[in-house]
Chain A
Amino acid sequence: MDALVAQLQMQFRDYTISLYQQGFLDDQFTELKKLQDDASPDFVAEVLSLFFEDCVKLIGNMARALDQKGTVDFNQVGASVHQLKGSSSSVGAKRVKGLCVSFKEFCEAKNYEGCVRCLQQVDIEYKTLQTKLQDMFNLEKQIIEAGGRVPQVDIN
């Protein structure tokens, strides 16, 4: 049993490290994990689900705004991007935040193709992140079910 726990823990650790190394997550995510304790055991999950809901909502807004060919309200798009940037930086979604930064530049430059491209990338990016985080949570659940404790992975 302990061997299984140890193996799962190692898997979890390596997976988490890889997420950081690949730039999916940054320090803020670590900070988020720090806020999770006995008083609020599902804090991270709650915040992340809120974030993904936000993503869906904002991307939808942006898509609608950009659909209006000819009369694209770049301010509105910019506002949504700004929101998304704020959210992503709050949860530590590094890649998403990076994309939002360039997205915002395109908005200010009123570059339609750029915005569209960015939007697509953001869409892909947040979905990828969602899957990866889902996998990580599954590993955590497995470890807890196997009787072990989720190790703290403190890096960078």
Chain B
Amino acid sequence: MEVCNCIEPQWPADELLMKYQYISDFFIAIAYFSIPLELIYFVKKSAVFPYRWVLVQFGAFIVLCGATHLINLWTFTTHSRTVALVMTTAKVLTAVVSCATALMLVHIIPDLLSVKTRELFLKNKAAELDREMGLIRTQEETGRHVRMLTHEIRSTLDRHTILKTTLVELGRTLALEECALWMPTRTGLELQLSYTLRQQHPVEYTVPIQLPVINQVFGTSRAVKISPNSPVARLRPVSGKYMLGEVVAVRVPLLHLSNFQINDWPELSTKRYALMVLMLPSDSARQWHVHELELVEVVADQVAVALSHAAILEESMRARDLLMEQNVALDLARREAETAIRARNDFLAVMNHEMRTPMHAIIALSSLLQETELTPEQRLMVETILKSSNLLATLMNDVLDLSRLEDGSLQLELGTFNLHTLFREILNLIKPIAVVKKLPITLNLAPDLPEFVVGDEKRLMQIILNIVGNAVKFSKQGSISVTALVTKSDTRAPDFFVVPTGSHFYLRVKVKDLGAGINPQDIPKLFTKFAQTQSLATRSSGGSGLGLAISKRFVNLMEGNIWIESDGLGKGCTAIFDVKLGISNESKQLGIPKAQANPRHANFAGLKVLVMDENGVSRMVTKGLLVHLGCDVTTVSSSEECLRVMSHEHKVVFMDVCMPGVENYQIALRIHEKFTKRHQRPLLVALTGNTDKSTKEKCMSFGLDGVLLKPVSLDNMRNVLSDLLEHRVLYEAM
């Protein structure tokens, strides 16, 4: 026997089993060698693999395992000790590496597992995001649809267009088969089919509003799926073949203006709704999606708003049209009124002229008639005629004035005048009547009353005359006092004190009488037109009743106030009025003697005059008169003295011819002889006590230039002098 270092296998060389083992080992080795190759290949391919060195470790382990199995192949037959050594080395290495790998894997496998879970998680997330993306996209699309719809709806303010557009756009967007709108009727008890999409001429179709399905839809703001067989959805004749598509209904609130409060938003507690019904196409298996329902709801809201806008606009357009109509009507009315007023004024003016002309004739001729020889009855008749015609003339004037005053077409004629003189003139005018009735009138002018004022003299005189005249008219006895003063307060605003400025002041005139008096209750009526307060018994005083009304209007024009106070019937009354007057600059000249302040007769200043009178007293009075007028007066008491003193400087000679006889007239002749040239000769005026024709004739025959009746009043003398100097002759001053 050979001694070899071979190692005997343990098992007998059973050929079949060994063969299988041999093949298996071979394949295992191949597999073990190819695994790392695969690993390397695929790892190289992948971008990232964090556990590279684990791979190495694993590769080593596998390779060694493969090597082990490969070497195992040689151990099936007798093999040398080297092979056994290599085998053992390989096995030991493999054991080491595999243990190391096993230990390593304990760390690594959890990691790998968690990677897997993360991957799963991310995949889930991705799916979720996808879903959400899908949702957002649909929402965005819905929004786009709504915007477009809204744009379409709101681009018009016409109600019908709005509704039609809504239906059309909804139909298009949602691909509906039919879309309909039911509006509540006026009574609110029924819904009427107002608009449909496909049918051009909707039948006048109504359903009662109290149907359960309708209540259901109205009860919520959401779109509600309803049965296609409900009355609101049965819009077309149903042909049995079709399977009706799903139907959805939504309420459309009809908002009223009053819903929009400033502070709170419109509550959806409005009672009125319209119903919008949408039908999907039949035969399609389409269903209502949530986003479509949302779209419908949003559209319904928008439609509500658009409708209210349209309603508001309609309303305002209607109001505007109404206003324009009214405007036109008012304009027409105004023009007609103006025409009427103009016509009336023209009429009044013409009638006034036409009426005054005959009036003048009547008055003038009656006056002339009065001057002639009349029997007492005739005189009475003429006087009555004259009185009546004067009354009528006054009435006409009053009416014309009043109508012009009421129009506001009367304007004050402002001018400068002497206030003191005005009052005296008025008194002079009233004197005759007062004398007849034995009513003394006193005038009291306040010391600070300006003399020269700016105002409407004629109208002021009219007012004062009216009031004083009333006082005289309605007083049977007693005295009348007229007081004029400057008032410090504006009676219209008693708290407001008017400081008389440099340019204006308020004149107050009080006329107090002790006559019939007025019942305090009647006082407000006094200033109304045509009203008179006295009973029929005292009606004899006449008058039209317009006087006070006109006075009041004039006073108002002068920015003043007029009122009457009375303690009662029989206790007299006081009429008071305030008017605003301007102060004239002429009053600022102080210290000018009165005689020269009268601008009309400035030519008297220094006029040299000779007065001849035997009677000392009357001589003095005449001299005083002329001095007052500013003349330079020389007095003589006899004709001789007169001739002696007289010179060509004397412009006027007043000679008293009261003495009987003709001696005084001789002086006139002597003067004529002395002054042959006419322009040098002074004017000769006779002062005499009687004015009959014989005296006048005598004066004229003796060459006198004028005759004056003694006693001469101041005004008379003034007028006479100015006339004399103007005309160089005077025979009217009687």
Contact = CB atoms under 8 A, between A and B. Distances in A.
A86 B424 contact: no
A109 to B, nearest CB: 16
Interface stretch (B14-22, B75-83, B538-546, B621-629): B621-629
B215 interface: no
A47 B442 contact: no
A128 to B, nearest CB: 18
B627 A39 contact: yes
Contacts of B656: 86
A15 interface: no
Given A82-B659, A154-B442, A47 B617 contact: yes
Nearest to A149: B447
Interface in A61-111: 82-83, 85-87, 89-92
A89 B424 CA distance: 23
Interface stretch (A27-35, A114-122, A137-145): A27-35
Contacts of A156: 431, 434-435, 440-441
Contact of A91 (B424, B614, B621): B621
Interface in A19-63: 20-21, 27-28, 31-32, 34-35, 37-40, 43, 46-47, 50-51, 54
Contacts of B431: 155-156
A153 interface: yes
B725 interface: no
B427 A154 contact: yes
A116 B620 CA distance: 29
B618 A87 contact: yes
Contacts of B595: 37, 39
A140 to B, nearest CB: 16
Contacts of A132: none
Given A51-B617, A90-B711, A155 B442 contact: yes
A35 B615 contact: no
B624 A154 contact: no
A153 B628 CA distance: 20
A13 B479 CA distance: 11
Which of A50, A85, A153, A155 is most buried by chain B, counting CB atoms within 10 A of its CB? A155
A35 B434 contact: no
B606 interface: no
Nearest to B615: A86
A17 interface: yes
Given A35-B628, A40-B624, A86 B617 contact: yes
B445 interface: yes
Interface string B480-523: 00000000000000000000000000000000000000000000
B461 interface: no
Nearest to A39: B593
Contact of A13 (B442, B594, B615, B624): B442
Nearest to A14: B479
Interface in B436-453: 440-445, 447
Contacts of B710: 86, 89-90
A154 B714 contact: no
B188 interface: no
Nearest to A38: B593
Interface in B395-449: 424, 427, 431, 434-435, 440-445, 447
A43 B658 CA distance: 24
Nearest to B659: A82
A134 interface: no
A31 B715 CA distance: 9
Nearest to B617: A87
Interface of B: 424, 427, 431, 434-435, 440-445, 447, 479, 593-595, 614-618, 620-622, 624-625, 627-628, 656, 658-660, 689, 710-714
8 contacts: A37-B593, A40-B627, A43-B624, A50-B620, A82-B660, A90-B617, A152-B443, A156-B435
Please provide the 8 A-B residue pairs with the shortest distance between their CB atoms, ordered closest to farther: A87-B617, A90-B618, A90-B621, A86-B615, A35-B624, A28-B711, A154-B443, A35-B628
